[in-house]
Structure 1
Amino acid sequence: MMTLHIGEWIVLLMIMAMPIYSFWESDKTKRAVIAGHKTKLRMYQETMVYLWFPTVTLLALVLMQVVRISDIGLYWRSSMANWVGACLVMCLFVYLVLGVYKTKSNSQNNEELRNTMKTHSWMMPASRCELTWFTFGVSMSAGICEELLFRGFLLSVFSDYIGLFSSLILSSFLFGLCHIYQGWLNAIRTGIYGLVFSGIYILTDSLLIVIILHAMLDIYSGIIGYLINQSSIDNAKLYITKSDTKATAP
């Protein structure tokens, strides 16, 4: 039997409820956004509330000293592992910047990405306002909240009872299920990302590294989605212009 503080039980139950909520609401939200009954901005705002509600509860437990900061990995030791993790962040940043540049300048690559994004293009930003909310709202919230909950808290709680390896599998499985709204294939892919994030957390001994990596990847996906959507809009405008020109030609 797990002996946890009542507050920890509440956070644990909220985390367990997140995949259920995501599974229940995913199709409804998708249909509402595609049909125009719900804006992407509204969806982004609801996602932020969904992420921050259990996270604020967890942080309240930290302030109450029920959960220690060290238990959820929020520290920097200036160790070799920490600095290797920081180098990893810098390398990933350069790689993602190059990826954005390649996407912006290579239309053929855009077509490949457009096919890859078919299952979740409906949720990607298509305007600068949506991109701002996705970047500083959804992506930053996901990086902070999901890592605190699924890596920091769940690994700390489960490791004492079912072992580290089983904790990695369980937390990554739940993490993947929370992204079922992106389709089953992406949910599985996200679960694998969860395993990778967990491994980096264990190797670098700091959740701060993983939070930054997670947020960077989400911001990158938002920028790529925005560029692809803008490309589709520009192509549609060009097609309409050509059609109008042909229609008015003598």
Structure 2
Amino acid sequence: MLFIMLLAFLLVYDPIFGKMMFERFVRKLIRNQTTRVSYYYETIAVLWGAVLLLFLAVWQYKVPLTELGLQKVPTFNLLDGNPLNAWISAIVLGLILLYGIVFVVNTLLFVWKPHYFEKIQKEIEEEGYTTYLLPTSTKEKCVWVFVSITAGVCEELLYRSFLMYYLPSLLDTQSVWISLILSSLIFGLAHTYQGVKGAMKATTLGMYFCLLYLVTDSIIPGMILHTLIDLAGVFMMKSRKEKS
């Protein structure tokens, strides 16, 4: 029952009520620029609430945590001698390394050459939802760090660990690819507040995170990478001075 409630939450709350909550936030933000912090706290509370429900279900049904990918050491599950799986593993791990390098370089550029981000900031400002969502004040950026950690941990547990565990039994299938596609589509639906383009990007990113989970057999690398991706939001917008 708890698993069904959690699935209903992912299918209904984020795509419908989450979108309504974001639109309400935008209306408030237009009148009051300090609204972001409250919205951030709401987002954090909702995601951790859903994860609490997940762990209640895990406790009730006595599901081993390893079934959710909660293990420290990656096992590189797809590196099993199959040429296709080996290529998938190499591509996924290569993308991780590439993103790590890009993240470090961008961080250094932001510190030493802030004008490097001016073009990126202009492009972001053309996408309304991003302009509304990303932090601009010092306080917002501090809270955004906790938003990023929350999203990295909670969304990976909900959309990768839970769905990749529950969907095969729900659909009576052993195909990880069906679960991968469906969980990625559900992840995309959760980002419909970003518009069609944003939802498509989220779906693609969801597929990548699912592959990362399958390759390593651990959800931890996805949590770390997801958090780093969201943390990049700290660098994306020009700082706004807070009123004293």
Q: What TM bracket, shorter-length normalisation?
A: 0.7 to 0.9
Counterparts in 2 of 1:166-181, with a 5 A limit? 166-181=178-193
Give the residue type in structure 2 aligned to 1:131.
K
Distance of 2:35 and 2:25 partners within structure 1: 10
Q: Percent identity?
A: 26
> Which residue of 2 is the match for residue 100 of structure 1?
107
Kept after mapping to 2: 8 A contact 1:40/1:130: yes
Change (3 A) 1:144 1:158: same
Distance of 2:205 and 2:142 partners within structure 1: 24
Distance of 2:163 and 2:74 partners within structure 1: 25
Whether 1:186 aligns to 2:198 is yes
Q: Which one has the largest radius of gyration?
A: 1
Following TM superposition, by how much is the alpha carbon of 1:164 offset from its aligned partner in structure 2, in angstroms? 1.8
Distance of 2:200 and 2:18 partners within structure 1: 14
Which stretches of structure 1, 4 residues or more, deviate above 4 A after TM superposition?
Answer: 84-91
> Which residue of 1 is the match for residue 212 of structure 2?
200
Following TM superposition, by how much is the alpha carbon of 1:215 offset from its aligned partner in structure 2, in angstroms? 0.7
> Which residue of 2 is the match for residue 9 of structure 1?
4
Following TM superposition, by how much is the alpha carbon of 1:154 offset from its aligned partner in structure 2, in angstroms? 0.5
Question: What does the per-residue CA deviation read over 1:134-188, in whole Å, with 9 as the maximum and x for residues that have no partner?
Answer: 11x2111101110001000011111232432221111111111212223321221
Give the residue type in structure 2 aligned to 1:98.
V
Change (3 A) 1:34 1:184: farther
Q: Which runs of 5+ in 1 are unaligned?
A: 1-5, 235-250
Q: Which runs of 5+ in 2 are unaligned?
A: 80-89
Question: What does the per-residue CA deviation read over 1:41-64, in whole Å, with 9 as the maximum and x for residues that have no partner?
Answer: 100001111211111111122334
Give the residue type in structure 2 aligned to 1:130.
E
> Which residue of 1 is the match for residue 155 of structure 2?
146
Distance of 1:103 and 1:148 partners within structure 2: 31
Kept after mapping to 2: 8 A contact 1:89/1:209: no
Which of 5, 19, 26 lines up with 1:23 in the alignment? 19
Q: Bigger CA drift: 137-146 or 111-120? A: 111-120
Counterparts in 2 of 1:105-116, with a 5 A limit? 105=113, 107=115, 109-116=117-124
> Which residue of 1 is the match for residue 85 of structure 2?
none
Q: TM-score normalized by structure 2?
A: 0.80
Give the residue type in structure 1 aligned to 2:137.
S
Following TM superposition, by how much is the alpha carbon of 1:109 offset from its aligned partner in structure 2, in angstroms? 4.2
The number of residues matched between the two structures is 223
Give the residue type in structure 2 aligned to 1:111.
K
Following TM superposition, by how much is the alpha carbon of 1:88 offset from its aligned partner in structure 2, in angstroms? 6.9
Change (3 A) 1:219 1:109: closer
Kept after mapping to 1: 8 A contact 2:74/2:218: no
> Which residue of 2 is the match for residue 53 of structure 1?
49
